[in-house]
Amino acid sequence: MQRAAKCALRLDISRAFCPSNVRNCGAVNRVNGSVSCRRYSVLPPPRDEEEKAMLDSMLRVDHAGEYGANRIYAGQMAVLGRTQTGPLIQHMWDQEKMHLERFNEILGEHRVRPTLLLPLWNIAGFALGACTALLGKEGAMACTVAVEESISEHYNSQIRTLMEADPERYTELLQLIKEFRDDEIEHHDTGLEHDAESVPGYLLLKTAIQAGCKAAIYISQRI
Amino acid sequence: MAALIRGLRAGRALRGLGGVAVQGTRSTQCSNVRRGFHRAALLRLASDSKSDTSVPPPSYHEVHTAGESSSSSAQGESSEDAQPNTSFQDQSGEHSEDYETEEQLQVRILTAALEFVPQHGWNMEAITAGAETLGLSSASTGMFNNGAGDLVLHFVAQCNAQLTETLAEQNNQVQLGQAESKKTGEFLKDAVEMRLRMLVPYIDTWPQAMSILLLPHNIPDSLKHLSTMVDDIWYYAGDRSTDVNWYTRRAALTGIYNTTELVMVQDSSPDFEETWAFLDNRIKDVVNMANTAKQVQATGEAVVQGLMGAAITLKNLTGMNQRR
């Protein structure tokens, strides 16, 4: 009980002093001795095997998603980096990098196995980003819109699952996912603002990309 | 003593389902044995609560037959199965000292049986001998459907738990600053050696145990034990990787552990010196490979940067490098 209170206090203090986009609370609190409340811990200690498996697969697919998004933006930057949309894509990429950092921390801390298909998502993401960027700025924005829509839908369904299960227990995790979902929706809206819909074959492209994302999510949850 | 336990158990039968507590620690049994056990325990408690406390406490024959009849009528029990699992969790940790679950009893029998393994080997005879030292009849071994497999898996789980405890303790010491942290190679070597040394009292019969672990119906459990052990060792060695390295490291350590185990089984040198030398060499190999891989990657990156530089120079020279 006291430990939980101390954790909460540490959490509040670290939130107050660290700006919200610098999530180094883990590094800051690393020195505090005992095992159970060493740092700002997003997950509750698992109650049984089933819960651990569910949380594992959720975090695994989220990590794979952020990794893929990272590579997609890298591909887009490789083609469009030196054009006028370069800074915009770079900004969105930086936010994805932060998300990935955060998930890397969580996976390491909670001993979650990453998906075996990461090398595949590496190549596929980069290829997708580069190919859509070759269609021009509108193509890149259309790809962003499609992917971000998939990811925010996916985060929403995770939020729903957690809320249905036990919102009190998963408060920090819910907060994290909500924050990331809001970022992804922002990217989605940015893409729409920058003429995503004016790419020829927009609907076809969007449907194809979203189908690919759904398949990737399905596989990464399991493998 | 056992009769006293049984008497108390009958007396507490009115506590109902909630009284059956599950150990919070990692299961040391095959999950299907545990499930069969829960069903048997439920049936017994149900029958106890229905009948009066004046009925003599059930013998292990009854438990065994109850277990068998419950496993044969598995369909009807499935609804019962879903509920007891959740109630066990609510009650976890809340067991009185006098009341013992079937799982705890199994653990006690198997632990006692380990003493007789050097003499009888990994089979039902050892389990029977173990049960007899606890004052139970030899018929109580009927609860072990998998027989030798149960015994070996129990031993493996026990060793892994001990290893994890020691590693966690060492980790704690390092965190508190009371001990130096070891380099990865040294840490792995010490951990594997510590784990393999636990086999020393049973080394003569270990080939039999290894072949039991390779039986098809034991493979899922033995693989699970092996993979959790390797994961634990890497976790305490400090691995927090979240990419393909997660897999390559664990695969490498699994290979090292298995081959060293095989070497140990036919090693006749004093205190298994040859085994530890073999282990040392394998770990050095893996560490070298990791270093080489890092170097290759660094070289590759440098080469790519050089090529990019050359390409940009060319683009500059030909005037292609304009902002669009």
CATH number at residue B243: 1.10.357
- Taking the Cβ of residue A131 and every Cβ of chain B, the question of whether any pair is shorter than 8 Å is answered with no
Chosen for mutation from B178, B242, B243 (greatest number of chain A CBs closer than 10 Å) is B242
Cβ neighbours of residue B60 closer than 8 Å, sequence gap 6 or more: B136, B137, B139, B140, B142, B143
Give a yes or no: residue B45 inside a domain. no
Q: At what angle do helices B31-50 and B60-72 cross, to 10 degrees?
A: 110
pLDDT band at A200 (very low <50, low <70, confident <90, very high): confident
Cβ under 8 Å to B: A residues 95-114:
103-104, 107-109, 111, 113-114
Q: Is A50 labelled as part of a ligand binding site?
A: no
Residue of A nearest to B227 (CA): A113
CA-based radius of gyration for chain A: 18
Count of domains for chain A: 1
Count of domains for chain B: 1
pLDDT band at A196 (very low <50, low <70, confident <90, very high): confident
B222 phi and psi, to 5 degrees? -70, -35
For B215-256, the pLDDT digits (tens) are: 999 999 999 999 999 999 999 999 899 989 899 999 999 999
In the Cβ-directed half-sphere of B131, how many Cα atoms lie within 13 Å?
20
Give the CA distances from residue A35 to residues A175, B161, B240, in Å, rounded to whole numbers and listed in that order.
Answer: 23, 18, 16
Least confident of A29-38, A137-146, B204-213: A29-38
Give a yes or no: residue B80 inside a domain. no
**Nearest CA-CA distance, residue A83 and chain B, Å:** 6
Tell how far CA B11 is from the center of its chain.
35
Neighbours of B219 (CB within 10 A): 11
**Chain B residues with CB inside 8 Å of A114's CB?**
241-243, 246
Buried residues in B247-261 as b, exposed as e (16+ CB within 10 A) = eebbebbeebbeebb
Write the residue in A82, A103, A104 that is nearest to B323 by C-beta: A82
Give a yes or no: residue A26 inside a domain. no
Give a yes or no: residue A116 inside a domain. yes
In contact, A15 and A94? CB cutoff 8 Å: no
In contact, A199 and A138? CB cutoff 8 Å: yes
Nearest CA to A194 out of A141, A132, A148, A140 is that of: A141
Give a yes or no: residue A18 inside a domain. no
- Whole-number Å distance between alpha carbons of A132 and A75: 9
Give a yes or no: residue A29 inside a domain. no
C-alpha triplet A146, A148, A151: angle, nearest 5°:
110
pLDDT value, residue A30: 42
Task: Indicate whether A43 pLDDT > 80.
Answer: yes
The one-character DSSP state at B24 is S
**Nearest CA-CA distance, residue B242 and chain A, Å:** 6
Write the residue in B89, B175, B231 that is nearest to A47 by C-beta: B89
Neighbours of A177 (CB within 10 A): 20
Give a yes or no: residue B108 inside a domain. no
Full-prediction pTM beyond 0.80?
no
Q: Is A51 labelled as part of a ligand binding site?
A: no
Q: Rounded mean pLDDT of chain A?
A: 83
Give a yes or no: residue A31 inside a domain. no
Tell how far CA B234 is from the center of its chain.
15
Give a yes or no: residue A37 inside a domain. no
For B45-58, the pLDDT digits (tens) are: 444 444 444 444 44
CA-based radius of gyration for chain B: 27
Task: Indicate whether A35 pLDDT > 70.
Answer: no
In contact, A71 and A94? CB cutoff 8 Å: no
**Ranges of H-type helices in chain B:** 2-11, 31-50, 60-72, 74-91, 102-114, 117-120, 124-133, 148-175, 184-197, 206-213, 219-237, 244-265, 273-318
Q: Is A66 labelled as part of a ligand binding site?
A: yes
Give a yes or no: residue B43 inside a domain. no
pLDDT band at B5 (very low <50, low <70, confident <90, very high): low
**Nearest CA-CA distance, residue B316 and chain A, Å:** 14
CATH number at residue A143: 1.20.910
Say whether B235 and A111 touch across the interface (CB within 8 A). Answer: yes
- Whole-number Å distance between alpha carbons of B143 and B60: 9
Interface of B with A (CB under 8 A): 89, 168, 172, 175-176, 231, 235, 240-244, 246-247, 323-324
Buried residues in B29-57 as b, exposed as e (16+ CB within 10 A) = bbeebbbbbbbbbbbbbeebbeeeeeeeb
**Chain B residues with CB inside 8 Å of A33's CB?**
175-176
- The ipTM value here is 0.77
For A119-149, the pLDDT digits (tens) are: 999 999 999 999 999 998 999 999 999 999 9
User: Which domain covers residue A175, as residue numbers?
Assistant: 49-221
Least confident of A58-62, A207-211, B92-96, B277-281: B92-96
